[in-house]
Amino acid sequence: MRVALFDFDGTLVNSGPTVIGAARATLEARGYPVPDAVAIRGFVGPPLLNGITQVLGVPAEETASFRDAYREIYTQTMTQAEVYPGVEDALRSLLDDGWTLAVATSKREDLARRIAEAKGLDRYFTVIAGADLAEQHDKAWVIGQALERLEASGVDASHAIMIGDRHHDVHGAAARGLRCVVSRGGMAPNPKAHQRPQSRATLAPASMRCANSPPLTPYLRTPNSTPDVKLRP
């Protein structure tokens, strides 16, 4: 059975404007400096608590209160995020080809589901798995949740492929023994495999962003024949 797991932010949905806008507003309200336009892009996609400390520079002891303030702002605008051009065509094509699709995102699961439902994306996915309320798990944990739920629904997900735009997706897939297709063109400036020998990552074009780009689906139809490549800037 062919199974594909999709990241959410920066892969299916352009969450950048809503995520970055809420981050800027929270930083300003709490008196923190705002990173430059390039640096703050790194806040979109990774686990939230990691992004707050590592990208926004908020002290660890203030992370929880910052998260709550950020969340209050973000949830007011999050459904304004736009689905990338070509995404629905790609998802429909994969379903027609017999694939089972799921979401594995570091975004809190209830929020990812709300956005997916608002944009009509939920109908394409057998499972939508994301971070729990504590938001303290890495991408490998989220992928594991998606795999467990697929298996529980009778889907053999042992050879699933992860599709995402960041090194978190590559590393999370590697930790679960899965191949990862890196979709370029999202919010991640330079997705990298960081030289992990066990990472099996294939660079795909930003096909779901532009209708005229080469399709993503050939990268999935013959995954075992696609050569492994190193990710580099």
From 7, 110, 132, 228, active-site residue: 7
| Nearest-angstrom CA–CA distance, 20 and 22 | 5
Which residues have C-beta within 8 Å of that of residue 160, sequence separation ≥ 6?
3, 4, 5, 102, 147, 150, 178
By the 10 Å C-beta count (0-12 exposed, 13-18 middle, 19+ buried), 177 is classed as: exposed
Is 165 assigned a catalytic role?
no
Is 36 assigned a catalytic role?
no
What CA–CA distances, in Å, run from 26 to 46, 164, 175? 18, 27, 33
| Strand 201-204 versus strand 82-83 pairing type | unpaired
β-bridge mates for residue 131, sequence order? 108
What CA–CA distances, in Å, run from 44 to 4, 20, 193, 199? 22, 7, 18, 22
| Nearest-angstrom CA–CA distance, 147 and 6 | 12
Residues carrying an active site annotation: 7, 9
